[in-house]
Structure 1
């Protein structure tokens, strides 16, 4: 079997597998069967299975052979194509450790889930933020037509490779290289807006450049690596409202919104005041309680580090106001040492109490409201239910 025949067969086999697992909406099956994902991912990295620090290994036709490469391409797997915002030297790729993925072809089942939620038809125009490898762009070109698609990519190198890949696939959508948080500068608003990168809040430009009654599908994501996929209806050019439709963020953070590289000064052992707390750091790591903790501390980051006594401590640091919380074992329970202008862990405790009082609902029970000067996530109802502020995205 020749390589083109093998790729075609594997695409159809892969589409059948996704459909059998109820992961491929019928409206998108033809696109998955038609679009050559291998043109968008001629070389990529995947994590190995070894314990310890994650190491990523390169996959190219030259390294593993054409068939093994293609079988990896046509699997429900995220294929990483860039680390730390730097291009990879594919002439002699080596395993990579201690690096952060910054561009990829996201696992297809998640991509088609998002595309299906767009609820588009043959007349829909779509603006996409985060072209990446161009695979999701190509799927939309097949479904809606290239003339209906605008896609924005912030990284010039990534954008150039996506343009070439889309050309190889036979599609010529409108492609823009620039800061997607500031919009796409379209002459006409789009019927649908989709973002394939995580954002801390919905850029107002996305609302402004989506028609009233149109939809925005995007991933809200915080520095604690929680939140999830939202679907918003643009109501009148001044409001957009909707709900979470899936928990856990599935996309990398937008470059412009990544957490500051410098953590700043760590609190000394005698900084702050210590008290007992009913909640240990485990609430940050569980999906549902972690979602609530992210709402309570939108500017916080966390990490673990051993103290002078050898005991492990969990640090929570707020990048906006220098507040901190340090969690430590206290017998069978936990203590927290807090400092700064805000009781950081107190915010978590209060939010968890509200959540528990409401019956500990899943993330999909939370709503989202977006206005020009504020964004809120709310529970029970938008008017007077518990609510939390999201960061307003600058430069949009």
Structure 2
């Protein structure tokens, strides 16, 4: 087992999963509720599986009201989830946290991932930012009940959390289109930022592994596939995803490992093979945020 797998296995997921979760139906894939006390065996199978668990939903505002149906799941979309344990482990292996390191998590969710990081780094070393007040409250309660000393902050993850800086590690549990410079600014030199990327240049939603330099700049590369729900404001439309897939095929289907990123106070540059081959909306998908010239 890798270190990430051992850490995930060491922390019980059960206390972090609410009694009410949502699961896709076999017929349509729409999300319908599943209650722990009405269907305990099925709920337990979901918790024990190496799969994400949807823990909060809302109606898709694009779906007309008369078509919405919570019983069949029509129009229901996920807004928060417990990440797939296997993906959590892979991200932790990329992050390489160690004892006494200060870690910032963007997107608390259930609090389970923060608990796993705290298991490695120790009490009082993890700060986690969650935009949804109700989700943050539930995570705080679960972390307190299980004895993990994690600071959960209700706020916009794009801003990081300056009072807890400097951080040695930053991990993001929602897909992004760009890395806010605030995250880099709040890191100590040599820090690592791990963030799942929205499918805006590669259809497989690769994982960014970024290293912060002494000069306040950061750079890194992409790897594998780590699909996550988007950070607030970072969602990709189906039309954008189709355009990215078409452009990626036109480019010869490059592997995620061929892409990289450079981040400076003025913005970011996503590139293919070398930093002097930057991607733009005209060459591959959609690169958002302030872009370096």
List per-residue Cα deviations over 1:327-348 (Å, max 9, x = no partner): xxxxxxxxxxxxxxxxxxxxx4
1:364 counterpart = 2:252: no
- Return 5+ residue gaps in structure 2 as ranges: 61-69, 282-286
1:169 counterpart = 2:146: yes
Name which of 164, 173, 193 aligns with 1:216: 193
| TM-score, normalising length: structure 2 | 0.84
- Name the structure 1 match of 2:33: 58
- Name the structure 2 match of 1:112: 89
Secondary structure, counterpart of 1:97 in structure 2: coil
Instruction: Work out the CA distance in 1 between the residues paired with 2:227 and 2:188.
Output: 26
| Higher gyration radius (CA) | 1
1:136 counterpart = 2:108: no
List per-residue Cα deviations over 1:212-255 (Å, max 9, x = no partner): 111000012157994421000011353111110123x5111112
Change over 3 Å in CA distance of 1:254–1:386 after alignment to 2: closer
Instruction: Work out the CA distance in 2 between the residues paired with 1:209 and 1:199.
Output: 18
- Name the structure 2 match of 1:301: none
Instruction: Work out the CA distance in 2 between the residues paired with 1:95 and 1:37.
Output: 28
Instruction: Work out the CA distance in 2 between the residues paired with 1:225 and 1:70.
Output: 35
List per-residue Cα deviations over 1:30-73 (Å, max 9, x = no partner): 433332211111331111211x4x322322222212x4322220
Secondary structure, counterpart of 1:82 in structure 2: strand
Instruction: Work out the CA distance in 1 between the residues paired with 2:257 and 2:266.
Output: 24
What is the RMSD computed on CA atoms of the aligned residues? 2.8
Q: How many pairs are equivalent?
A: 274
- Return 5+ residue gaps in structure 1 as ranges: 1-18, 20-24, 87-92, 264-280, 294-347
**C-alpha contact (below 8 Å) 1:229/1:245 kept by paired residues:** yes
1:1-396 paired onto structure 2 within 5 Å: 19=1, 25=2, 27-43=3-19, 44-50=21-27, 52=28, 54-65=29-40, 67-84=41-58, 94-222=71-199, 226=203, 227-247=205-225, 249-258=226-235, 284=242, 290=245, 348=247, 355-356=251-252, 360-382=253-275, 384-388=276-280, 390-392=287-289
**C-alpha contact (below 8 Å) 2:5/2:86 kept by paired residues:** no
